């Protein structure tokens, strides 16, 4: 899966492509995002394109967060659409993740 | 040895005394004193002889006792009460424990048993000595030198001295290792038989009641007893037009009864399919013909086995609202009539299966109305006894149905179970408790029906969602709001993904049939598949603390729809049915 990313200081911003992250592509995403997270300390996942996430997609996002936490880094999410937000709330993951309306706010949150 | 030595010494000194007297003899004058001395000597000699005899007698007795103790077939030891060191150790003890007396005598348990065991023995010894009474130890483990771990039944007795204080402790033991093993073996075999019987019952005898037949609701209860009874039931759904229910009870218990129950079920299935193939399209064979054919196939075998089966074959015609019933000596079926709120007992005249080779079966027919309930059960239920030995009985059962007949069959059955438990004051029963409740419902026709077949490749999940979205957009009013549609998309994705990844183990070339029925008040989504069934109760709730990446699927389903069921459909496929209220 093609992943667009950009790095601002210690933070890598990854745009999750496509409008769905479900069991059909969650594995690919996990595999392809891992090298990007290897090289940075912190990351922001830009979810603005996503209209649908299922439990497998959620698992993939959780794995990103665990990967960064393991080396002392952090993950923030931004630009979550309403249906995706609904899923996060359903399984109470909105309390686990640091979620911001925009990329800039997510970035700023690292330097607060 | 000590006593022998002292006896010799005394004999020796006595002899010397005589010799002395002889050598100093001669003078008459000293006759009197001499004779006095002689008298005394003679007396002494007599006393010595008596002592020698007594000593010899004592030694004989001791030898006799020694030989008895030595040859006792049970293990015997004696310990000194002061320091608990062994002072006696018989041959059986030597043989059983592999410890020679030369090693044992003068030593204590700590010298040759593991510390934990020695401590146990010592504690028991002290209890015997302080209590001054016999102590029976039904089972104690002992590490032997040559035969591994053995188990003994031991009795310990204190022996008191003249002063009343304990002087010795006598222990007598019997090796019960073999007996214990045999008993354990037997218990294991019994347990295994119960386990096999239980498995036969769960897999062959009892089916899941159908959950998706429109116009009827079915619930079943089975509480297996310690020994399987051979109770069985079965359901045949004829294209949602008729539902056949069979409830049977094989005479006898255990694996033979369970197997016979399974064989009976298979005969009925065979008879049904044979007659179905001979019936003109669109018609069904009569229950009485199915029973007569199945019976004719198995009656000889049953007679040979000296067994019989009581059975009730019930057909609920869901379209014409009619009941056909063939009762073969089974417990009376209870018919709850919604219109009167009363129960009627239904009973046929046929003999149990396996009684007469020439039995022609008769059937009863009557009207069934929406709200009517049929309760079929085994006699394990009505023959449940209370503490006073009285039977639960059919009247009590019928009363229970009368009180709870208006409720959902599942609740009715739970009420019956609770009533039987309260009556017998026990959660376990001597016989299997089997019971099936069938309730006629108003038959509803869906406003809209859609189907889509997808493959089990994960890429198809998007199509499953599109199917749901399209269905929702084409609904007759009222329309569903966007959030509800999204929840249904999520539910269908999680259910289908579970089937693809778990039921089909990731094989992409299998089929999943999506079905949707729309009713005025609800939407029903079904996913039929031929993969492995899964047990929702075995799934643990997810972790909400971010510590786990998976395990959310089932939880998401339960949170996004109003009802979800995992069951078998009428064609034997596994089915996930989800209901969302409108």
With CB atoms and an 8 Å threshold, state whether A24 touches B458.
yes
Among the partner-chain residues B483, B493, B550, the one whose CB lies closest to the CB of A86 is B483
- Rounded distance, CA B435 to CA B379, Å? 9
Using a CB-CB cut-off of 8 Å, the residues of chain B touching A51 are none
Mutate to test the interface with B, among A18, A30, A56 (most CBs of B within 10 A): A56
Q: Alpha-carbon torsion A30, A32, A34, A36, what sign?
A: negative
Segments in B349-408 forming alpha helices (H): 379-382, 393-404
Answer whether B134 touches A (CB < 8 Å).
Answer: no
Question: Which has more confidence, B501 or B549?
Answer: B501
Phi-psi region of A3 (alpha: psi -120 to 50; beta: other; left: phi over 0): beta
Selection from B443, B433, B408 nearest residue B563 by Cα: B408
Selection from B154, B136, B170, B135 nearest residue B96 by Cα: B154
- Average the pLDDT over B104-126 and give the result: 90
**Per-residue 3-state assignment (H helix, E strand, C coil) for B180-199:** HHHHHHHHHHHHHHHHHHHH
The confidence score (pLDDT) of residue B334 equals 95
Give the pair of three-digit tokens for residue B79: 């310990």
With CB atoms and an 8 Å threshold, state whether A83 touches B486.
yes
pLDDT at B13 over 80: no
- Average the pLDDT over B130-140 and give the result: 90
Using a CB-CB cut-off of 8 Å, the residues of chain A touching B483 are 86
Q: Do residues A75 and A42 lie in contact, with contact meaning Cβ atoms separated by under 8 Å?
A: yes
Confidence of residue B500 (pLDDT cuts 50, 70, 90): very high
Selection from B483, B456, B470, B580 nearest residue B525 by Cα: B580
Q: Do residues B354 and B363 lie in contact, with contact meaning Cβ atoms separated by under 8 Å?
A: no
pLDDT tens-place string over residues B349-406:
899 999 998 888 999 999 999 999 999 998 888 988 888 889 999 999 999 999 999 9
DSSP secondary structure letters along B509-562:
T-EEEEEEEE-SSEEEEEEEE-S----GGGSPPPPSSSS-SS--HHHHHHHHSS
Q: Chain-wide mean pLDDT for chain B?
A: 87
- Rounded distance, CA B205 to CA B196, Å? 12
Among the partner-chain residues B461, B544, B549, the one whose CB lies closest to the CB of A22 is B461
pLDDT tens-place string over residues B507-535:
999 999 999 999 888 999 999 999 998 88
Answer whether B469 touches A (CB < 8 Å).
Answer: no
pLDDT tens-place string over residues B234-286:
999 998 889 999 999 998 887 888 889 989 999 999 999 999 999 888 789 99
Other beta carbons less than 10 A from residue B65's beta carbon: 10
Q: With a CB-CB cutoff of 8 Å, which residues 290-309 of chain B face chain A?
A: none
The confidence score (pLDDT) of residue B4 equals 42
**Per-residue 3-state assignment (H helix, E strand, C coil) for B545-558:** CCCCCCCCHHHHHH
pLDDT at B29 over 70: no
Answer whether B544 touches A (CB < 8 Å).
Answer: yes
Selection from B556, B505, B508 nearest residue B531 by Cα: B505
Question: Which has more confidence, B6 or B146?
Answer: B146
DSSP secondary structure letters along A36-75:
HHHT-SEEEEE-TT-SEE-HHHHHHHHHHHHHHHHTT--E
The confidence score (pLDDT) of residue B479 equals 85
Element (H, E) at B97: helix B91-97
pLDDT at B20 over 70: no
Cis? peptide before B478, omega within 30° of 0:
yes
| Sheet of strand B511-518: strand arrangement | B448-455, B511-518, B522-529, B574-581, B563-568
Alpha carbon of B538: minimum distance to chain A alpha carbons (Å): 19
Cβ-based interface (< 8 Å): residues of A facing B: 20, 22-24, 52, 54-56, 58-60, 62-63, 65-66, 83, 86-87, 90-93, 95-97
- Rounded distance, CA B338 to CA B405, Å? 8
Confidence of residue B31 (pLDDT cuts 50, 70, 90): low
With CB atoms and an 8 Å threshold, state whether B545 touches A22.
no
With CB atoms and an 8 Å threshold, state whether B546 touches A86.
no
Cα Rg of chain A, angstroms: 13
Strand partners, B236: B244
- Rounded distance, CA B271 to CA B274, Å? 5
Q: Decide: residue B297, CB within 10 A, 0-12 exposed, 13-18 middle, 19+ buried.
A: middle
Highest mean pLDDT among B73-82, B425-434, B439-448, B483-492: B483-492
Answer whether B455 touches A (CB < 8 Å).
Answer: no
Highest mean pLDDT among B17-31, B220-234, B407-421: B407-421
Q: At what angle do helices B31-71 and B2-24 cross, to 10 degrees?
A: 160
Q: Do residues B496 and B512 lie in contact, with contact meaning Cβ atoms separated by under 8 Å?
A: yes
Alpha carbon of B449: minimum distance to chain A alpha carbons (Å): 26
The confidence score (pLDDT) of residue B539 equals 83
**CA distances to A31, A61, A65, B180, B542 from A70, in Å:** 17, 14, 9, 55, 21
Q: At what angle do helices A26-38 and A55-70 cross, to 10 degrees?
A: 20
Complex ipTM: 0.95
Other beta carbons less than 10 A from residue B69's beta carbon: 18
Helix and strand counts by DSSP (H, E) for chain B? 14, 20
- Rounded distance, CA B250 to CA B256, Å? 9
Q: A54: nearest CA in chain B? A: B490
Q: Say what the pTM is.
A: 0.52
With CB atoms and an 8 Å threshold, state whether A66 touches B549.
yes
- Rounded distance, CA B143 to CA B403, Å? 64
- Rounded distance, CA B18 to CA B35, Å? 13
C-alpha A40: how far from chain center: 14
Selection from B113, B150, B105, B108 nearest residue B125 by Cα: B108
- Rounded distance, CA B133 to CA B131, Å? 5
Mutate to test the interface with A, among B456, B465, B490, B550 (most CBs of A within 10 A): B490
Using a CB-CB cut-off of 8 Å, the residues of chain B touching A69 are none
The confidence score (pLDDT) of residue B8 equals 43
pLDDT at B557 over 90: yes
- Rounded distance, CA A45 to CA A35, Å? 14
Digit-by-digit pLDDT tens for chain A (112 residues) are 889 999 998 899 999 999 999 999 999 999 999 999 998 999 999 999 999 999 999 999 999 999 999 999 999 999 999 999 999 999 999 999 999 999 999 999 988 7
Confidence of residue B12 (pLDDT cuts 50, 70, 90): very low
Q: Alpha-carbon torsion B410, B412, B414, B420, what sign?
A: negative
Phi-psi region of A72 (alpha: psi -120 to 50; beta: other; left: phi over 0): left
Residue A102 has what DSSP assignment?
S
Element (H, E) at B268: helix B254-278
Alpha carbon of B546: minimum distance to chain A alpha carbons (Å): 6
The contacts of residue B390 (CB under 8 Å, 6+ apart) are: none
């Amino acid at each position: 899966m093609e992943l667009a990313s950009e790095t601002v200081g210690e933070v890598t911003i990854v745009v999750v492509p496509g409008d769905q992250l479900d069991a059909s592509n969650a594995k690919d995403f996990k595999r392809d995002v891992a090298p990007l997270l290897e090289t940075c300390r912190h990351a922001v996942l830009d979810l603005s394109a996503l209209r649908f996430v299922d439990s497998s997609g959620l698992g993939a996002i959780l794995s990103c967060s665990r990967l960064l936490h393991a080396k002392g880094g952090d993950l923030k999410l931004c630009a979550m659409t309403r249906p995706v937000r609904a899923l996060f709330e359903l399984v109470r993951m909105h309390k686990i993740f640091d979620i911001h309306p925009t990329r800039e706010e997510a970035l700023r949150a690292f330097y607060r | 040895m000590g006593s022998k030595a002292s006896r010799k010494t005394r004999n020796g000194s006595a002899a010397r005394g005589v010799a002395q007297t002889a050598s100093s003899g001669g003078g008459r004058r000293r006759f009197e004193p001499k004779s006095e001395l002689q008298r005394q000597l003679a007396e002494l000699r007599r006393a010595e002889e008596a002592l020698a005899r007594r000593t010899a007698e004592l030694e004989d007795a001791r030898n006799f006792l020694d030989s008895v103790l030595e040859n006792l077939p049970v293990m015997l030891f004696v310990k000194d009460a002061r320091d608990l060191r062994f002072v006696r150790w018989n041959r059986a003890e030597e043989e059983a424990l592999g410890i020679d007396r030369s090693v044992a005598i003068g030593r204590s348990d700590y010298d040759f048993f593991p510390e934990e065991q020695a401590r146990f023995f010592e504690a028991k010894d002290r209890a015997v000595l302080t209590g001054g009474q016999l102590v029976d130890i039904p089972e104690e483990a002992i590490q032997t030198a040559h035969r591994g771990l053995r188990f003994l039944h031991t009795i310990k007795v204190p022996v008191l001295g003249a002063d009343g204080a304990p002087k010795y402790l006598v222990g007598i033991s019997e090796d019960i290792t073999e007996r214990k093993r045999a008993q354990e073996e037997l218990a294991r075999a019994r347990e295994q038989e119960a386990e096999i019987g239980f498995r036969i019952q769960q897999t062959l005898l009892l089916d899941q009641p159908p959950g998706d037949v429109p116009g009827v609701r079915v619930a079943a209860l089975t509480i297996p007893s310690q020994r399987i009874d051979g109770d069985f039931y079965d359901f045949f759904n004829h294209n949602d037009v008729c539902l056949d229910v069979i409830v049977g009870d094989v005479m006898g218990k255990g694996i033979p009864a369970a197997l016979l129950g399974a064989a009976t079920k298979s005969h009925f299935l065979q008879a049904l399919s044979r007659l179905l193939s001979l019936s003109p399209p669109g018609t069904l064979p009569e229950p009485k013909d199915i029973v007569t054919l199945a019976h004719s196939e198995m009656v000889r075998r049953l007679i040979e086995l000296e067994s019989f089966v009581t059975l009730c074959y019930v057909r609920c015609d869901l379209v014409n609202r009619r009941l056909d019933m063939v009762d073969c000596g089974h417990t009376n079926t209870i018919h709850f009539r919604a219109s009167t709120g009363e129960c009627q007992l239904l009973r046929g005249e046929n003999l149990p299966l396996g009684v007469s080779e020439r039995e022609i079966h008769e059937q009863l027919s009557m009207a069934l109305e929406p709200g009517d309930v049929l309760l079929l059960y085994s006699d394990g239920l009505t023959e449940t006894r209370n503490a006073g030995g009285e039977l639960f009985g059919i009247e009590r059962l019928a009363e229970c149905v009368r009180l709870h007949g208006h409720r959902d069959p599942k609740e009715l059955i739970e009420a019956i179970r609770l009533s039987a438990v309260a009556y017998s004051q026990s959660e376990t029963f001597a016989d299997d408790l089997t019971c099936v409740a069938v309730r006629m419902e108003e038959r509803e026709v869906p406003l809209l029906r859609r189907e889509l077949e997808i493959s089990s490749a994960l890429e198809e999940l998007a199509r499953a969602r599109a199917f749901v979205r399209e269905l929702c957009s084409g609904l007759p009013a009222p329309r569903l709001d966007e959030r509800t549609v999204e929840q249904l998309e999520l539910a269908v994705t999680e259910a289908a993904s579970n089937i693809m990844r778990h039921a089909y183990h990731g094989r992409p070339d299998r089929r999943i049939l999506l079905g949707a029925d729309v009713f005025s008040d609800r939407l029903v989504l079904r996913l039929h598949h031929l993969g492995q069934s899964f047990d929702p109760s075995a799934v643990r709730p997810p972790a909400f603390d971010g510590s786990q990446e998976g395990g959310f699927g089932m939880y998401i389903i339960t949170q996004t729809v109003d009802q979800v069921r995992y069951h078998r459909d009428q064609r034997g496929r596994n089915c996930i049915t989800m209901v969302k209220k409108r």
